[in-house]
Homo-oligomer: A and B are copies of this chain.
Amino acid sequence: MTKVTAQMSVSLDGCYTGPRDPSNPNDMSTWMRGPEAPGFFRVTRWVVDAMAWRERLGAAGGERSVNDEIVAETFAAAGAYVMGRRMFDAGEVPWGDEPPFRAPVFVVTHRHRDVLERAGGTSFTFVTEGFARAIELAKAAAGDKDVQIAGGGELVRQVLAAGLLDQLELHVAPVLLGDGQRLFDPSLGLRADEGIELVPTRVVEDPAVTHIRYDVTGHAQLVLDDRGASGELVSPQD
């Protein structure tokens, strides 16, 4: 069955980039010279390193690093993608004539635009009826494979908050940024007595990054349960 999945590289404090430039938050032609970029490069460094490893060994393959396996597996699992408009704007030019997706990509946007066909199996379809509709279209296009929410973080958060995400994989880079765009924030819209529960299903360790995959269980009530005195060891209340 087609799952809706997402995966993001984040810092240990949950940022996927540095902070947005408040004077110029939406100009994707200059973001690389702004405060977002150093954090973005740091949290995705493991991917660049994995790619470098693959290239060094040559296309014929042979030994793979665990991080290279994760990258390859991530691309292989996706039958279609759903992408935010800001990520598309940043990627359109540098991805060039043969983008890496090699599958249909559904871009959530307010502006209508004709389908872009690219070499290698990638197409960009612009969906103006919201992310739920984009996911519907992506499911129909994905065949037996997964629909992957490609990003950015804001779209991942919206899909999660709407209860439409089945699986989340975080690639946690061992660095603290202090400030930046957080994958999860109060816009998840949870009450103080409510959480979104997940179950960790796989952890892959590497000194450069910790990969943790979760099944998303969904919204749940949080309970006040200290089960009596044993809680005293860590719970400073009676």
CB of A41 within 8 A of CB of B178, answer no
Please encode chain A, from 175 to 200, with 1 for each CB lying within 8 Å of some chain B CB and 0 for all others.
11111001111111110111111111
CB of A174 within 8 A of CB of B197, answer yes
Give the number of times this chain occurs in the complex, counting copies: 2
Residues facing B in A152-176 (CB within 8 A) are 160, 170, 172, 174-176
Binds B, one of A106-114, A132-140, A223-231: A223-231
Q: For the complex, is A32 an interface residue (Cβ under 8 Å from B)? A: yes
CB of B32 within 8 A of CB of A237, answer yes
Complex CA–CA separation, A170 to B100 (angstroms) = 35
CB of A198 within 8 A of CB of B176, answer yes
Q: For the complex, is A118 an interface residue (Cβ under 8 Å from B)? A: no
Partner of A93, one of B36, B193, B210, B238: B238
Q: How many residues of A contact B (CB 8 A)?
A: 82
Complex CA–CA separation, A143 to B23 (angstroms) = 53
What residues of chain A have their CB less than 8 Å away from a CB belonging to chain B? 9, 11-14, 18-19, 28, 31-32, 35-42, 44-45, 47-48, 51-52, 55, 71, 87, 90-91, 93-96, 100, 160, 170, 172, 174-179, 182-190, 192-200, 203, 205, 207, 210, 212, 214, 222-227, 230-238
